[in-house]
Amino acid sequence: MITRRRFLQEVCAVSSPILAVKGDVKPLASISRPALDPNLLQKFVDSLPTPAIAMPRGFRPAPRDSSVRLPYYRMEMRQFRTKVHRDLNPTKMWGFESAFPGPTFEARSGEEVLVEWANMLPEQHFLPVDYRFRGAEKGKPEGRAVVHLHGARVPPESDGYPEPSYEPGQSALYHYPNKQEAATLWYHDHAMGMHRLNIFAGLLGLFIIRDKVEGTLNLPKGKHEIPLVICDRIFDREGQLNYPISGKPGAPWVPEVFGNAILVNGKLFPYLQVEPRKYRFRLLNGSNGRFYHLSLSNGQSFHQIGTDQGLLPAPVDLKSLSIAPGERADLVVDFAGQEGREIIVQDDAFVVMQFRVSRRGGPDTSSLPAVLRREARIPESRAVRTRLLTLNEYVDLAQIPVLMLLNGTYWRQAVTEKPTINTTEIWSFINLTEDSHPVHLHLVRFQILDRRRFDVFAYQTWGKLRYTAAPVAPNPGEAGWKDTVRAAPGMVTRIIIPFAGYTGRYVWHCHILEHGDNEMMRPYEVIPARPA
């Protein structure tokens, strides 16, 4: 059965951008300006850029111990213009250090850093604000921001809690201990009621943590290790970002946004010159709502070696990769034997980018080990509690989604999930909606247990959880540590979570950004253990 979202994405891939609604598919006639058809542009005329590496500006005292001095970074959020394609006018965007994506952080596990996130944005947004949402009320500066390091184990005051945000002219100093295994993390705006617009405008970047275990594996590195930040956008014919609106007066929010222009590292249809050897690609799906199904045009396989929270136990041989918003995938592609060929990275009906394989290259001394990281599965018996949590969608008389909730609860209501530090819980996501939701938990990493189909009607009618099929184990590419999980429609998705690191208030939410801004976000609180 094809989901509503997948149908809408496929329609968008072969025609114009569309507004995602239940029932009829509506063209985006209500966007403020006519949309660009990117297929009219010449492909593969821009080389793939590599984001700059973030550099410290000095040292500052560590929190709670002024005798220790830590590397200090300052990252300014600014409005700027950039060319996403040779034949388009420069696009107005918001970005860290006037770049999209922002500079990439390179950190070592256990080496602490301080980052000052400075808001130098305009007070007025250039994308359509919906003033009905909490955090986006009229009268507040629209250029508010707060930065979340997605996937990081950090104290609550440095997590980027959605409220309060910092206004233009303000900044916040965050402490990142980096006490976690090697992984591809990413930073992005998380301002309450605004982050769908701020990320669409460009406020995101990568944060890579390395450790000794990864360093011993002899994986491709240096110029042969390349970040790929993939996201879809909509542009007008002048090359400017064109965020869709509902057409309802005073209520511009739309439930999902699928663009028809796929950017990689900020470029449309880029190409990358590669040697006939192994490359490592750190892939991020930075889209607001699009799920990607990526493959290579020559049909060759590649290997997934890592996921959100680091290395998999062993490489996974793939012909295609599915990746949801907020998820990351660590890939190794071997271009040996492809000398002189041009290979397209494709997503269903979309062209994403091109690899141009040179006829010669230097010796390839890298390797792809059979074992990457030994990691035991967490036994279910370790869990001290199981929580049943629903994913809810509410529609109006025209069957258009108007509200999304987690466990039928608004953000402003009392915190109901209060795990105890250094305990393990199982969270079961009961998806009552028609689509997959990528659910992200701040602070923690977890393992996926299984997914199991259930009788949605019985649950909605009588509150009875009746399974209709056997559990389905996670696919091999999900076998490692995760921080974002795809909760499939009509299924119960179970994850097992060790709550470690810090006590305090954090967030769990759907990483379809339009959903998160419209109440599909909840606080949770890690509480101290009771004295014995």
Q: What confidence tens digit (pLDDT) does each residue in 28-52 have?
A: 335 568 899 999 999 999 999 999 9
For 374, counting Cβ atoms within 10 Å of its Cβ (0-12 exposed, 13-18 middle, 19+ buried), the class is: exposed
**pTM of the shown model:** 0.95
Calculate mean pLDDT across residues 156-167: 96
CA angle (204, 206, 209) in 5-degree steps: 150
What is the Cα–Cα distance from 129 to 142, expressed in whole angstroms?
Answer: 8
203-231 per-residue burial string, b: 16 or more CB within 10 A, e: under 16: bbbbbbbbbeebeebebbeeebbbbbbbb
Give the residues across from 73 on adjacent strands.
115
23 phi-psi bin (left φ>0, alpha ψ -120 to 50, beta other): left
Calculate mean pLDDT across residues 308-316: 97
Asked if residue 22 has pLDDT above 50, the reply is: no
For 453-469, write each residue's pLDDT tens digit: 999 999 999 999 999 99
pLDDT score for 14: 45
What is the Cα–Cα distance from 438 to 441, expressed in whole angstroms?
Answer: 10
Calculate mean pLDDT across residues 192-215: 98
Helix (H) or strand (E) holding 149: strand 147-150
Residue in 512, 505, 417 with CA at minimum distance from that of residue 163:
505
What single-letter DSSP state applies at residue 7? H
What is the Cα–Cα distance from 284 to 186, expressed in whole angstroms?
Answer: 8
Domains of the chain: 4-41+220-357 (2.60.40.420), 46-212 (2.60.40.420), 380-526 (2.60.40.420)
Average pLDDT score, the chain: 94
Contact between 27 and 8 (Cβ < 8 Å): no
What's the token pair of residue 464?
């009875």
| Residue the block writes with tokens 């966007």 | 31
Calculate mean pLDDT across residues 357-367: 95
Contact between 440 and 484 (Cβ < 8 Å): yes
User: How sure is the predictor about 367, in pLDDT bands with cuts at 50, 70 and 90?
Assistant: very high
For 468-508, write each residue's pLDDT tens digit: 999 999 999 999 999 999 999 999 999 999 999 999 999 99
**Of 183-192, 244-253, 323-332, where does mean pLDDT reach its minimum?**
244-253
Cα R_g (the chain), whole angstroms: 22
